[in-house]
């Protein structure tokens, strides 16, 4: 795109001036320090894909614009599409104050600048109209994120130091990275632990010193992050799904209906505005904390193990405040 913008600027300047010689592939290639064939391919792209009114003048032996080119058409998108883009930008605002803030701000500013004159509603107006506020955004070094993502995309074996949640020491891990996912504002790496020969999930914020090797691998065809998470309430999964049933009182029922909590929940409306929610979960670890967050507004109906967990946690909390 740098070359194309350079070519565009040179042709426009020569078109608008009566004294400058029209640029051709050879002169442009000399200034860009590349092959004339590369410039020719760029010009073909500008004419055929960007539909710029560009012609070769056989008399002057150079390229000229035969029509007005006020805004360079890098992004021709509708107001609806730019509105969706603004929403995406605001979702990423949860990384304000993290190493991601500067590069994210830079890329969206560049996109906004290239849209001047394309949409009827200004970027600045849209930017001021929406905001997102979230807590618990993942904190990590951007270098760790880049190294892990690049190794995953290139399918290269990866090594890193990792600290378990209940440990103060780091251990060296060797993995084949399959997929990176953001789940509930936390970044996870789904991979094959080469030392233990089993699929594992690692939190990127607990990693340090990642290093991709030159050894490549091929991800298994049967790996699917959607399949791994289909019976999870977050990132934890299991081989034997359990039926979880929760009853919410009238107050909580309204809030539960308003958001998506699980890929395939089943709801049953009860008398008095109460609501019963049923899910298939492979692990009870994450749902336990979520139920406790509702306090007395939620009651576990099944399974029995989850009822015992909630009762034990509630008793422990009560004892702490006596």
Mean pLDDT of 249-257: 94
d(CA 284, CA 237): 9
- Dihedral over Cα of 283, 285, 289, 295: its sign: positive
Does the pLDDT of residue 224 top 70, yes or no? yes
CATH fold of 142-229, please? SH3 type barrels. (2.30.30)
d(CA 241, CA 222): 20
Mean pLDDT of 206-210: 94
Mean pLDDT of the chain: 85
Helix ranges (H only) for 72-182 are: 79-91, 101-114, 123-129, 142-154
Quote the radius of gyration of the chain (alpha carbons, Å): 28
- Please, are residues 65 and 12 in contact by the beta-carbon 8 Å criterion? yes
The domain locations on the chain are 2-65, 79-129, 142-229, 242-320
User: Tens digits of per-residue pLDDT, 125-155?
Assistant: 555 666 666 666 666 777 888 899 999 999 9
- Please, are residues 219 and 151 in contact by the beta-carbon 8 Å criterion? no
* Strand pairing report for 186-193 and 54-57: unpaired
d(CA 248, CA 258): 13
User: Tens digits of per-residue pLDDT, 274-317?
Assistant: 999 999 999 998 999 999 999 999 999 999 999 999 999 999 99
Does the pLDDT of residue 120 top 50, yes or no? no
* 173 vs 13 pLDDT, higher one: 173
Query: CATH says 2-65 is which class?
Result: mainly alpha
The label of the residue with tokens 């730019």 reads 82
What's the pLDDT at 51?
84
User: Tens digits of per-residue pLDDT, 44-92?
Assistant: 999 888 888 999 999 889 999 998 876 565 555 555 666 666 666 666 6
Whole-prediction pTM: 0.61
- Please, are residues 193 and 173 in contact by the beta-carbon 8 Å criterion? yes
* Strand pairing report for 298-302 and 207-216: unpaired
What region, left, alpha or beta, does residue 61 occupy, with left being phi > 0 and alpha being psi -120 to 50 degrees? left
What region, left, alpha or beta, does residue 244 occupy, with left being phi > 0 and alpha being psi -120 to 50 degrees? beta
* 187 vs 301 pLDDT, higher one: 301
pLDDT band for position 156 (50/70/90)? Answer: very high
Dig out the tokens for 243 from the structure. 């039926």
What region, left, alpha or beta, does residue 272 occupy, with left being phi > 0 and alpha being psi -120 to 50 degrees? left
DSSP state, residue 95: G
- Walk across the sheet containing 156-163 and list its strands: 198-203, 186-193, 170-183, 156-163, 207-216
Supply φ then ψ for residue 242, to 5 degrees.
-115, 150
The H or E element spanning position 247 is strand 242-248
Lowest mean pLDDT among 73-87, 182-196, 246-260, 268-282: 73-87
Helix ranges (H only) for the chain are: 2-16, 25-32, 36-48, 79-91, 101-114, 123-129, 142-154, 225-229, 250-257, 285-293, 304-320
d(CA 305, CA 289): 14
Does the pLDDT of residue 209 top 90, yes or no? yes
What's the pLDDT at 68?
80
What's the pLDDT at 134?
65
Q: Please enumerate in sequence order all residues whose Cβ is within 8 A of that of 316, keeping only pairs 6 or more positions apart, or say none.
A: none
∠ CA 209-212-217, nearest 5°, is 145
């Amino acid at each position: 795109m740098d070359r194309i913008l350079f070519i565009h600027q040179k042709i426009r300047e020569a078109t608008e001036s009566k004294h400058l010689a029209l640029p051709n592939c050879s002169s442009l290639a000399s200034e860009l320090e590349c092959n004339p064939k590369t410039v020719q391919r760029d010009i073909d792209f500008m004419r055929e894909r960007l539909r710029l009114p560009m012609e070769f003048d056989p008399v002057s032996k150079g390229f000229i614009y035969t029509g007005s080119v006020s805004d360079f058409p890098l992004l021709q998108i509708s107001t609806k599409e730019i509105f969706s883009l603004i929403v995406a930008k605001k979702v990423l605002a949860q990384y304000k104050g993290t190493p991601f803030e500067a590069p994210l701000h830079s890329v969206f500013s560049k996109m906004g600048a290239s849209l001047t004159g394309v949409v009827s509603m200004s970027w600045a107006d849209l930017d001021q109209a929406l905001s997102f506020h979230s807590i618990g955004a993942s904190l990590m070094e951007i270098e760790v994120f880049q190294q892990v993502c690049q190794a995953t995309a290139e399918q290269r074996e990866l090594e890193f130091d990792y600290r378990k949640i209940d440990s103060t020491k780091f251990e060296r891990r060797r993995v084949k990275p399959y997929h990176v996912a953001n789940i509930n504002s936390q970044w996870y790496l789904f991979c094959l632990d080469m030392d233990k020969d089993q699929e594992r999930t690692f939190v990127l914020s607990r990693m340090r010193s990642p290093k991709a090797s030159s050894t490549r691998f091929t991800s298994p065809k049967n790996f699917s992050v959607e399949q791994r998470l289909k019976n999870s309430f977050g990132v934890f999964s299991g081989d034997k799904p359990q039926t979880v049933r929760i009853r919410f009182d009238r107050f909580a029922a309204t809030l539960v209906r308003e958001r998506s909590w699980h890929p395939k929940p089943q709801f049953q409306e009860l008398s008095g505005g109460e609501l019963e929610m049923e899910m298939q979960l492979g692990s009870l670890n994450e749902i336990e904390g979520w139920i406790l967050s509702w306090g007395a507004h939620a009651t576990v109906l099944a399974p029995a193990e989850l009822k015992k967990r909630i009762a034990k946690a509630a008793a422990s909390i009560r004892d702490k405040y006596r």
